[in-house]
A and B are shown apart, each in its own frame.
Chain A
């Protein structure tokens, strides 16, 4: 490997880490819902992409930041909808019930997108696409930096919400001791619904950032993002928000590393091998959530 290869390798990994912010946001959504309800919402990434699609309604009449804001808000609305359709009235003691309902929702959302757009890729607005900073031999791209910074802001916002608000307190209480939380007068249903809305806000942001980073949206995005989100959730530790953040950036970086070193044919094999290694040797992930519920 010569110096140019090394520069390209580092550049690829840096780009991957920055793009990994979107994986982190998706992973946080999975882990947040799992942390509170001990359920996996497999339709989460599809709803995130769906929210980004819905925000395209504004693309001709509103500036790009408002389109992103709309994606986040619509993600919240979809999150609430998914909670009421796939969780609220289903027997929560039967793990397969919600798993299958969210698989159904994933396929439904994907097919709605396909039918609404005839499967044609849609242009998605990006910001700072022309901004490129040369740092020595490296190149920092404005658009990816924007995705990275916005993702970080969303994660910090979530952290503040969980630790400094009554809603965050209720969310953590329901996650740790749902029976005790109910005895203290907290509405578990309302807290669960709020968690879905918060996760949806993050998901909508992730969908918009993914669209912005690629420059387009396609129904093809739903399944890979679902898989990446699950990988990130497992590697980070089910229920751990910091774990999802670190794992998202790690998976983004490793993906590009293996792409560079071994090529596209083998890239995903190594990422999946990493997942299996965690499942076997560290099933709790990087940061297993402490404690549990009753």
Chain B
């Protein structure tokens, strides 16, 4: 009898162990995609690192609760779209074909986001539209207004227009000596070009005189002519809407030609390690609005964890981090089952959950969701000082 009891106990323990292992094995996959090769590879690497670090934190805290009450670990699978529209569409279709895919985060480039959103069903529930019915929660691609393309597209990117409006108003209020502005724009990059128009518009509306603008291309090797135009403009403030390579090229040329405006304003994407690595000395003092800086315990912790994963946290991958936590909440709220036989229903429920959000929790505070599926994120202004980004002002 004791022998039978012992055998039964061992069998029961084994069964429980197996059951526990099975529960432990339950996973929910969140797909991501962005540029992991090509010249903007750093964006994809940083996003992937932030998503994985965030998923690890969720898993350490017990994982995500599915619709049937079981707990699951979040697993991140990240694809490379090379910041190329065709690749992006291929990746989107590949993800949508997976039997375990019900939501994805990405892409990193606006020139990819635009066509990818275009292959999604424009209006949810429209039977005449054969577009993909797959919810996408974008972290990086920042060109204004893209989420309006499809009701399946959602973004957690900063409202750059609002950021520059606030920035110019602050400059106007605090620096009465600045009256004139000269612009510089990387004409062949969608984000730079679109943001430049917003910058210029707000500068004019705030009462600054925009004296002119210099233009260059992303792969240009000489900026002498453009900076000479800038020098002739003799503006108090120079605003540069370009990514780090040409921003640094222009700033170095400005130094060579002795162009020293009273103030420099840069593009949101340039408030990164890249700019400091490329031209910290020339970028000294440049003022940039951003939706991330390690200014509170949560943001510092997130930056540390992403840093430990070998990446650096900036406004772009901070959104990727936030998105993973938001998706965890929405998976629980929408009672996602995450089974192959429920996947179509899960995608629909996920879209509805994302569409019904009115507010999410961001690293700098509450993020208000807008009716057009965009985000209204808290932001601050950072300034390059001695090779580091420091907070210059936090708008109330």
Which A residues fall within an 8 A CB radius of B?
4, 8, 11-12, 15-16, 19, 22, 111, 114-115, 118-123, 129, 132, 139, 141, 143, 210, 213-216, 218-221, 223-225, 255-256, 259-260, 263-265
A119 near B232: Cβ-Cβ < 8 Å: no
0/1 string, B208-231, CB within 8 A of A gives 1: 000000011111111011101100
Are B232 and A114 touching (Cβ within 8 A)?
A: no
| A interface majority secondary structure | helix
Please give the distance in Å from B49's CB to the nearest CB on chain A.
11
Alpha-carbon distance A118/B43, docked complex (angstroms): 9
With beta carbons under 8 angstroms apart, the residue of A11, A210, A219, A225 that contacts B228 is A11
Which residue, A111, A114, A141, A215, has most C-beta atoms of chain B within 10 A?
A215
Task: Identify A120's interface contact among B38, B219, B253, B277, CB under 8 A.
Answer: B277
9-residue interface stretch from B57-65, B111-119, B241-249, B359-367:
B241-249
Check if B245 sits within 8 Å of A15, measured CB to CB.
no
Q: Which residue of A lies closest to B224 (CB)?
A: A15
| Residues B222 and A8 in contact, CB atoms below 8 Å apart | no
Interchain nearest-CB distance for B93 vs A (Å): 24
Is B187 in the interface zone, CB < 8 Å from A? yes
CA distance A120 to B258 in the complex (A): 26
> Is B348 among interface residues, defined by CB-CB distance under 8 A?
no
Tell me, in angstroms, the Cα distance from A221 to B249 when the chains sit together. 12
Whether B278 sits at the interface, judged by CB under 8 Å, is yes
B256 within 8 A of A: yes
Take A12-B224, A114-B39 as given contacts and tell me if A120 and B274 are in contact as well, using a CB distance cutoff of 8 Å: yes
With beta carbons under 8 angstroms apart, the residue of B187, B216, B253, B277 that contacts A121 is B277
* Residue in A118, A216, A219 whose beta carbon sits within 8 Å of that of B45 in the complex: A118
Are A260 and B41 in touch, CB under 8 angstroms? no
Q: Which residues of B contact A143 (CB under 8 A)?
A: 256
Residues of B within 8 A of A11 (CB): 228
Write out the residue numbers on chain B whose beta carbons fall within 8 Å of the beta carbon of A123. Answer: 277-279
Say how far B227's CB is from chain A's closest CB, in angstroms.
10
Distance in Å from the Cβ of A205 to the closest Cβ of chain B? 16
Additional pairs, 11, CB under 8 Å, beyond known A121-B248, A216-B278: A4-B232, A8-B232, A12-B224, A114-B41, A120-B273, A123-B277, A213-B222, A215-B249, A220-B39, A221-B221, A259-B225
Question: 1/0 per residue B271-294: CB within 8 Å of A?
Answer: 001100111000000000000000
